[in-house]
C-alpha cells in the first residue's frame, strides 16, 4: 500500500490537475478547498452547482496517495464520477448495490491492496460494521461527503441514512472529514458541521451567482407555444421542462413528440423501468428533452443541459435554485425560463392546504406559505433576477445589471396607460357585483360573443368590450398583477371570486397609480435579445464541426457505456471546433484534455477536424 504523503503543495496539485484533467487554472475557492485537505483540516465547502466541487477532493486524493472515501447519495452520481475519473486515468471504484457478489469481491480486493485512490460509497454501506473494518485496515484518513446538505432536516433532500455518518468520528478519530454542498443557508451549514462533528473546520462559501444562467420569468400565455419558442432557440440541445402535475407532463410530452421533438415524459406515476429508461435515454443523448414533475432531477448529471423551462412557478426559491441549477453545469450558457401566472400562487396554496390537512400537519402551512410568497414576489419583481436571487441567499450582487435576465434584457415592457386599464378591470368587477371569477370578468371586458354573458345580461354592461382587441391571456395576467399589487382580491378556493377593497376604489378614483407589464411584442420568428454569455461562448466556434464532433462523442460513449460528457465535455468540444488543432500536441492545450483522454480519443477527433477543415478550406490552429 502506498503511504499517504504528509502534505503537498498547491503547485504539485496544479501539475497533477493539468496532467490528468487538462485544466490549467482553478475556479474560485478550489485552491483553498484543496489546501484544507492537504493541511489535514476538516472543511465545509459551499460552491454553487457547476462550481467544481468534485475536483476539490479528487485532486488531493491523487496527490496524497492512499484511499479517499467519498460518500455520495445516489448510484447514478457515483457512476458518473467513477467513469469520469477512470477516463482521466485515475483508479476509482464505487461499491454499491448494483454490483454482483463477484464484482464486489474484486473491488474490495483492489481496495485492500491500496490500489484505489477514490472509493465511492453510499452512507448505508459505509456504516456496515464489516466494511468499517476494511476501511480501518487500510487506514483511511480522508472522507469527502458529497451533497452534504442531505444530512440536514432543513435541506431540500434530507436523507435519514446520512445521519448515520455521525459515527465516522468514533471509528476514524484521526481522519479528516470534508463536506461539500451547493446549499447555502446558514441553518443547513450549521447542521452539517454539528452532525458530522467537524473539528474547527475551514469554511469556504462561494459566490452564489451563476453568471452563465440566463433567467427569464415571463407571463404564461400558452404553455405549448411558449415551450416551442424556447425549443426553437435550442434545437438539438438538451433541456428539462418541469410541470406541476403528471397529467400536464403526459400532455406536453405527447404534443412535443407530435412535433417531431425527441422528448420523453418522467413522473412518479410511471413504472420504475419506464423512468429508468427515460433517464438513461436522456443521459446518453438519445433524447433531447425531458418533460417531468419535480420528481426528476437529482440523479441527473448531464452537464450540457442548455435550458430548464418551468411551466409553472416552483414552491420556493430554494426549489427554483435547485431545479434551475441543473442547467449549464459545464459552465456554458444555459437558459432558465419560468412561465408565470399569478394564479400559480393560489393553485399551490390550495394544493398545499389540502395535502397538509390530509396528513394532519397543518402547523407546517405558514412556513410553506411564506416560501410560496417569497417565490411569487420574486416572479413579480422588476429587479434583476441574478441580483434578487443572490440577495435572497444572503449575498450582495456586484453591479446593477447582469445582462442575462428578462429584466435586464428588456423582455417585458410597461403596459401603456396601465392605470386606465386597471380602472376598466376594477369597474367591471364592480359591475358584475363582485360575484364572478377571472375568466368571466375577462370575457366581459373583451366583449366576447357568448350565450353565457347574454343570459346574465352582462353584454349590456357599460364595461362590456372595454378591453376589446386584447388577448384573453393578457387580460387574465393583468388581473393577476392587480391582485399581486393588493388592489384587487381573490376569495374562495374552488371557484375564486374577484372582490374589491379600499385600494381598488383609490385606483378607480384616480388617487393611486398602478404599473402593469406585458411581453414585448415581437414579429413572427423574431428572437429575444441575446445575453452576452450566449454570444461569447460561441465566438469563433464552427457549429457544424461542433455537431460532427458531438456525433463521434455520442458513438464513443455508447460503445464504452458511459455518458457522453465523460468522453469530452461541451466546453472541450467547442474549443476544439474553434481552435481546430492540427496535431495532438496542439490538442493537448485544450482545457479538459489530459494525458489519458488524449491517448484514448485524441487521434479520432483529430481526424474529424482534419477532414472537416480540408473539405471547407478552414485554417487550423486558431489561437
Residue in this structure with the C-alpha cell 430554494, named with its chain if needed = 318
Whole-angstrom CA distances from 198 to 40, 51, 177, 178, 342 are 12, 22, 7, 8, 44
329 near ligand ADP, rule: CB under 6 A: yes
Which of these ranges, 244-252, 323-331, 515-523, 528-536, lies near ligand ADP under the rule CB under 6 A? 323-331
Contact assessment for residue 246 and residue 293, using Cβ atoms and an 8 Å cutoff: yes
Instruction: Give the dihedral sign, CA 276/277/278/282.
Output: positive
Q: CB 181 → ligand ADP: shortest distance, Å?
A: 9
55 near ligand ADP, rule: CB under 6 A: yes
Q: CB 60 → ligand ADP: shortest distance, Å?
A: 13
Contact assessment for residue 483 and residue 342, using Cβ atoms and an 8 Å cutoff: yes
Q: Given the complex with ligand ADP, which of 23 and 172 has the nearer CB atom?
A: 23
Which of these ranges, 21-29, 103-111, 423-431, 443-451, lies near ligand ADP under the rule CB under 6 A? 21-29
Closest listed residue to residue 210, CA positions, set 313, 379, 330: 330
* Furthest CA-CA distance within the chain: 90
Q: CB 30 → ligand ADP: shortest distance, Å?
A: 6
Residues numbered 512 to 571 that lie near ligand ADP (CB under 6 A) are 569
Q: Given the complex with ligand ADP, which of 536 and 544 has the nearer CB atom?
A: 536
- Binding characters for ligand ADP, 569-598, by CB under 6 A (x = yes): x---------------------x-------
Closest listed residue to residue 488, CA positions, set 514, 469, 462, 519: 514
For 562, the grid coordinates are 458511459
Q: CB 375 → ligand ADP: shortest distance, Å?
A: 23
Distance CA 516, CA 39 (A): 56
Q: Given the complex with ligand ADP, which of 321 and 490 has the nearer CB atom?
A: 321
Whole-angstrom CA distances from 63 to 32, 90, 93, 303, 316 are 15, 11, 17, 26, 41
Selected binder of ligand ADP within 14, 32, 49, 582 (CB under 6 A):
49
Distance CA 66, CA 116 (A): 7
Contact assessment for residue 529 and residue 561, using Cβ atoms and an 8 Å cutoff: no
Taking each helix axis as running N to C, give the angle between helix 223-233 and helix 246-258, from 0 to 180 degrees, rounded to the nearest 10: 60
Which of these ranges, 324-332, 339-347, 351-359, 391-399, lies near ligand ADP under the rule CB under 6 A? 324-332
Residue in this structure with the C-alpha cell 472543511, named with its chain if needed = 43
Which of these ranges, 18-26, 188-196, 257-265, 342-350, lies near ligand ADP under the rule CB under 6 A? 18-26
Q: Given the complex with ligand ADP, which of 26 and 379 has the nearer CB atom?
A: 26
Residues 6+ apart with CB under 8 A from 12: 63
330 near ligand ADP, rule: CB under 6 A: yes
Cβ contacts of 377-385, under 8 Å, gap ≥ 24: 378/217, 378/317, 378/320, 379/217, 379/313, 379/338, 379/340, 380/340, 380/342, 380/481, 380/484, 382/407, 382/517, 383/407, 384/408, 385/215, 385/217
Selected binder of ligand ADP within 4, 8, 51, 581 (CB under 6 A):
51
Distance CA 616, CA 539 (A): 18
Q: Which residue is nearest to ligand ADP (CB)?
A: 52
Q: CB 554 → ligand ADP: shortest distance, Å?
A: 17
For 63, the grid coordinates are 496527490
Region of 52 please: left (phi>0), alpha (psi -120 to 50) or beta. left
Which of these ranges, 48-56, 122-130, 219-227, 441-449, lies near ligand ADP under the rule CB under 6 A? 48-56
Q: Given the complex with ligand ADP, which of 152 and 226 has the nearer CB atom?
A: 152
How is residue 488 annotated by DSSP? Answer: S
Residues numbered 295 to 314 that lie near ligand ADP (CB under 6 A) are 303
335 near ligand ADP, rule: CB under 6 A: no
Selected binder of ligand ADP within 12, 19, 32, 52 (CB under 6 A):
52
What residues does 305 pair with on adjacent strands? 238
208 near ligand ADP, rule: CB under 6 A: no
How is residue 405 annotated by DSSP? Answer: B
Q: Given the complex with ligand ADP, which of 345 and 556 has the nearer CB atom?
A: 556
26 near ligand ADP, rule: CB under 6 A: yes
Selected binder of ligand ADP within 66, 123, 206, 331 (CB under 6 A):
331
Selected binder of ligand ADP within 23, 57, 320, 601 (CB under 6 A):
23
Distance CA 26, CA 51 (A): 10
Which of these ranges, 49-57, 66-74, 213-221, 597-605, lies near ligand ADP under the rule CB under 6 A? 49-57
For 321, the grid coordinates are 435554485
Q: Given the complex with ligand ADP, which of 55 and 402 has the nearer CB atom?
A: 55
Contact assessment for residue 605 and residue 587, using Cβ atoms and an 8 Å cutoff: yes
Selected binder of ligand ADP within 35, 43, 54, 427 (CB under 6 A):
54
Which of these ranges, 22-30, 286-294, 420-428, 443-451, lies near ligand ADP under the rule CB under 6 A? 22-30
496 near ligand ADP, rule: CB under 6 A: no
Q: Given the complex with ligand ADP, which of 496 and 591 has the nearer CB atom?
A: 591
* Site residues (vs ligand ADP, CB under 6 A): 23, 25-27, 30, 47, 49-55, 303, 329-331, 569, 591
Amino acid at each position: 500500500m502506498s503511504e499517504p504523503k504528509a502534505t503537498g503543495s498547491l503547485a504539485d496539485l496544479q501539475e497533477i490537475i493539468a496532467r490528468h484533467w487538462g485544466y490549467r487554472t482553478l475556479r474560485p475557492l478550489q485552491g483553498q478547498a484543496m489546501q484544507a485537505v492537504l493541511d489535514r483540516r476538516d472543511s465545509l465547502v459551499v460552491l454553487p452547482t457547476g462550481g467544481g466541487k468534485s475536483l476539490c477532493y479528487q485532486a488531493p486524493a491523487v496527490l496524497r496517495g492512499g484511499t479517499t472515501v467519498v460518500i455520495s447519495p445516489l448510484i447514478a452520481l457515483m457512476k458518473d464520477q467513477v467513469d469520469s475519473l477512470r477516463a482521466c486515468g485515475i483508479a476509482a471504484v464505487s461499491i454499491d448495490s448494483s454490483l454482483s457478489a463477484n464484482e464486489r469481491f474484486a473491488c474490495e480486493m483492489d481496495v485492500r491492496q491500496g490500489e484505489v485512490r477514490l472509493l465511492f460509497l453510499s452512507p448505508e454501506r459505509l456504516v456496515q460494521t464489516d466494511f468499517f473494518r476494511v476501511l480501518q485496515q487500510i487506514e483511511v484518513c480522508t472522507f469527502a461527503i458529497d451533497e452534504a446538505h442531505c444530512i440536514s432536516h432543513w435541506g431540500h433532500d434530507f436523507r435519514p441514512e446520512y445521519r448515520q455518518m455521525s459515527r465516522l468520528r468514533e471509528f476514524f478519530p484521526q481522519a479528516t472529514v470534508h463536506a461539500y454542498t451547493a446549499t447555502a443557508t446558514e441553518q443547513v451549514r450549521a447542521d452539517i458541521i454539528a452532525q458530522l462533528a467537524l473539528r474547527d473546520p475551514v469554511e469556504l462559501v462561494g459566490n452564489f451567482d451563476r453568471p452563465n444562467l440566463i433567467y427569464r420569468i415571463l407571463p404564461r400565455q400558452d404553455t405549448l407555444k411558449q415551450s416551442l419558442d424556447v425549443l426553437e432557440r435550442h434545437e438539438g440541445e438538451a433541456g428539462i421542462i418541469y410541470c406541476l402535475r403528471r397529467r400536464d407532463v403526459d400532455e406536453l410530452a405527447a404534443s412535443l413528440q407530435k412535433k417531431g421533438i425527441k422528448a420523453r415524459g418522467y413522473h412518479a406515476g410511471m413504472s420504475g423501468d419506464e423512468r429508468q429508461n427515460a433517464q438513461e435515454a436522456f443521459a446518453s443523448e438519445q433524447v433531447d428533452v425531458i418533460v417531468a414533475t419535480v420528481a426528476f432531477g437529482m440523479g441527473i448529471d448531464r452537464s450540457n443541459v442548455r435550458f430548464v423551462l418551468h411551466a409553472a412557478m416552483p414552491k420556493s426559491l430554494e426549489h427554483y435554485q435547485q431545479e434551475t441549477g441543473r442547467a449549464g453545469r459545464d459552465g456554458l450558457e444555459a437558459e432558465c425560463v419560468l412561465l408565470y401566472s399569478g394564479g400559480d400562487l393560489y393553485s399551490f396554496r390550495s394544493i398545499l392546504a389540502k395535502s397538509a390537512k390530509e396528513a394532519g400537519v397543518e402547523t407546517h402551512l405558514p412556513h410553506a406559505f411564506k416560501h410560496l410568497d417569497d417565490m411569487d414576489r420574486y416572479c413579480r419583481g422588476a429587479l434583476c433576477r441574478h441580483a434578487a436571487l443572490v440577495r435572497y441567499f444572503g449575498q450582495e450582487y456586484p453591479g446593477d445589471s447582469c445582462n442575462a435576465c428578462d429584466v435586464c434584457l428588456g423582455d417585458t415592457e410597461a403596459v401603456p396607460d396601465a392605470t386606465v386599464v386597471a380602472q376598466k378591470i376594477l369597474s367591471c368587477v364592480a359591475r358584475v357585483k363582485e360575484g364572478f371569477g377571472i375568466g368571466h370578468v375577462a370575457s366581459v371586458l373583451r366583449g366576447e360573443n357568448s350565450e353565457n354573458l347574454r343570459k346574465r345580461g352582462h353584454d349590456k354592461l357599460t364595461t362590456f368590450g372595454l378591453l376589446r382587441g386584447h388577448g384573453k391571456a393578457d387580460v387574465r395576467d393583468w388581473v393577476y398583477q392587480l391582485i399581486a399589487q393588493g388592489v384587487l382580491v381573490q376569495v374562495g378556493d374552488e371557484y375564486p371570486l374577484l372582490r374589491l377593497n379600499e385600494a381598488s376604489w383609490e385606483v378607480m378614483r384616480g388617487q393611486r397609480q398602478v404599473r402593469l407589464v406585458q411581453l414585448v411584442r415581437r414579429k413572427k420568428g423574431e428572437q429575444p435579445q441575446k445575453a452576452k454569455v450566449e454570444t461569447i461562448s460561441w465566438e469563433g466556434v464552427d457549429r457544424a464541426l461542433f455537431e460532427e464532433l458531438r456525433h463521434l462523442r455520442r458513438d464513443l460513449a455508447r460503445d464504452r457505456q458511459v455518458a457522453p460528457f465523460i468522453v469530452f465535455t461541451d466546453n472541450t468540444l467547442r474549443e476544439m471546433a474553434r481552435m481546430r488543432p492540427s496535431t495532438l500536441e496542439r490538442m493537448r492545450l485544450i482545457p479538459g484534455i489530459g494525458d489519458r483522454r488524449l491517448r484514448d480519443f485524441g487521434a479520432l477527433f483529430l481526424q474529424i477536424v482534419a477532414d472537416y477543415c480540408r473539405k471547407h478550406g478552414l485554417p487550423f490552429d486558431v489561437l
